Structure 1
């Protein structure tokens, strides 16, 4: 091909697919000046909290399994890049706005600024109290904007404290527990020693695991408290060999929302037993060593963008951005209420690079998704596991099913 032709060909490709097709139909053989078509910009806001303890640098450096190692905005930015082509075809451009609240009192002013920008899609990377405040304020402040929870696994947000405009791309605590229990049942490790920490989050993890254990036939043979402390009077509560000294159990399940005690437990038990839960074998939304269904390509694109490995919270933020882009591309002129119905009603689906088509549950706004059963170096399985059955959708074996749900709010 002559050099001049190659130059023209590259120029036509740069115009976008639909413009190139227009040139082909016109039979144009030379360069033609076309009017500039400016894409309509759609802003998606990522709201976080300054000083959020989950994002403390020293904490993120430890990279506890399932905990964030960076900010959610990184995943949303990747979603915007990944969606640029399909949105360009719809005449749209996704713009990501970083909103960092100095404190909870700064929320009203931030929402007023977002209203001026006509923001209708918000990705929340917030602690529980601030997320609840955002969800409560959004209908009046932003005219029914959709809020995506990309950070928290609290079951209450999917239950009695749900909201019609709140969708969840982060897996729930119940989903994580069900994934682990399915794997234990499949391996026939049916006797568990449960170690619970002193924090409120540890109690919630224990509640979810006990529910899942009962659901899939796992017997908790003993439940013991642990505590990391410098107090000599309580030293035994942090002694891993003493805590695991009984022999009746086949697996040790550790419920540690902080992550530090669980980090010390694998290979430190009295008897050779696998550790699951907050360390050892962990249920996660994403793992950088996932090697199927385009996973390596997604992980590499993320690493190229932010120079760190993609983890579960990053995937959840990316999925929120992709959900916005997908529903916009399907119907660029749809009002936000119609977009919400398409997402929560399941007519808009996502490809999450997990081998299954993903959709949001109508009853609680939770994104259905396979979960990875993994350790620090790799993925050993995915849940739902083979052989687990459901009358309608096998992904609904993870988490709270429709008949169990306490959520009463729907669009």
Structure 2
């Protein structure tokens, strides 16, 4: 967005705000989640320790709606949110009922297999926004013309980390990983990012958590991280039980990145630039907890839809959806660079944060990594790399 167009947009909003309040036109959004979703069940160890508690990102959506109030009043638009959860076997019926209300978009918070079922059950005119799943399949061979993503992909996150390692000249990488399906997805992304940015994987070591004494060697950190020369340990551990004890326990004194240590994220509660402290404070007041990447992705979905409504000047489904996909859409993501959706796979362009547990260390794209059209496209599948046939 040029400076002159920003001024014109600001003047338009001022004129709208100063004029008589129009009757509000409804922009209907639907949150779709899975009933009794295992992702949101407490993940406790046998000792009672809780590893990674996940929360449904409803407060992120609610904050997004609050943030659109002034904008909605200016345009005579009212943003409405319906919250729907259904059992996996009831998703087709739930979608049929949702489609009858003709929402502008369905904000999808589902496991991968249920995402696939929802996409099969819905008509091609139903627009989904994925606010949770990071899997690359949805941006590649599993993509759909009616599917957008505000959650960054595994490849975007691993590219952000690989850029940072390359910039620090930590190019010799020991890759330590688990064996769950989510680990396998992230492992493929890590390998791809290492090749893309010139890192060398010196060895790959799989860990296995087991009470079987014959398998102890596969969870012995000294054995897993010994007998190799490396600059950094890249950990892939979706569950987090092994990774929580890996930093400071490696055979060689080296930093740990990936699932522990320095972690690539869509959002972090300690980010201190571009209005992020104010966003984090607003969220904390609303939810009583810190904003997660999932909360941010939900908030960003509402923010993008609101920006599209400004551009379309209407709550009409077709006009708003066209504006949402338009190349000149410009969404303030509170991360320093405005974003829009990639036309080839529906992914929201966005900077990513590289953070420890309590500090943001860097923002990607890292300085020095260039792109012929948009630096944000150094993260994730570029147009020429995408296997998506939308």
- TM-score, normalised relative to structure 1: 0.87
Q: Aligned residue for 2:111?
A: 127
Aligned alpha-carbon RMSD (Å)? 2.0
Measured in 1, the distance between the counterparts of 2:137 and 2:19 equals: 52
Aligned: 1:405 with 2:386: yes
Q: How does 1:150-169 map to 2 (within 5 A)?
A: 150-169=131-150
Q: Aligned residue for 1:260?
A: 241
Q: Aligned residue for 1:221?
A: 202
SS at match of 1:260: coil
Measured in 1, the distance between the counterparts of 2:170 and 2:348 equals: 29
Please, which of 269, 280, 293 is the counterpart of residue 288 of structure 1? 269
Please, which of 102, 111, 115 is the counterpart of residue 95 of structure 2? 111
Please, which of 237, 242, 245 is the counterpart of residue 223 of structure 2? 242
Cα deviation per residue 1:257-315 (whole Å; 9 max; x = unaligned)?
22221122111212211001111111000000000000000011111111110011111
Please, which of 131, 141, 160 is the counterpart of residue 179 of structure 1? 160
SS at match of 1:179: helix
Q: Aligned residue for 2:84?
A: 99
Aligned: 1:21 with 2:18: yes
Measured in 1, the distance between the counterparts of 2:163 and 2:84 equals: 39
SS at match of 1:402: coil
Can you give the 5+ residue segments of structure 1 that lack an aligned partner in the other structure? 1-15, 24-35
Distance 1:110 1:223, change over 3 A: same
Cα deviation per residue 1:128-151 (whole Å; 9 max; x = unaligned)?
0111122232226xxx13210010
Distance 1:19 1:184, change over 3 A: closer
Measured in 2, the distance between the counterparts of 1:22 and 1:208 equals: 51
SS at match of 1:358: coil
Contact kept in structure 2, 1:45 and 1:97, CA below 8 Å: yes
Measured in 2, the distance between the counterparts of 1:44 and 1:38 equals: 19
Measured in 2, the distance between the counterparts of 1:111 and 1:199 equals: 30
Q: How does 1:370-389 map to 2 (within 5 A)?
A: 370-389=351-370
SS at match of 1:115: helix
Distance 1:378 1:215, change over 3 A: same
Aligned: 1:305 with 2:286: yes
- The Cα shift of 1:22 comes to 4.8
- The Cα shift of 1:161 comes to 1.0
- The Cα shift of 1:116 comes to 3.4
Larger C-alpha radius of gyration, 1 or 2?
1
Distance 1:205 1:375, change over 3 A: same
Query: Number of residue pairs matched?
Result: 375
Measured in 1, the distance between the counterparts of 2:165 and 2:345 equals: 27
Q: Aligned residue for 2:3?
A: none
SS at match of 2:242: helix
Can you give the 5+ residue segments of structure 2 that lack an aligned partner in the other structure? 1-12
Measured in 2, the distance between the counterparts of 1:327 and 1:221 equals: 46
Distance 1:22 1:180, change over 3 A: closer
Measured in 1, the distance between the counterparts of 2:338 and 2:233 equals: 33
Cα deviation per residue 1:172-219 (whole Å; 9 max; x = unaligned)?
111011001001111111111111212122122111111100111110
Q: Aligned residue for 1:325?
A: 306
Measured in 2, the distance between the counterparts of 1:300 and 1:375 equals: 20
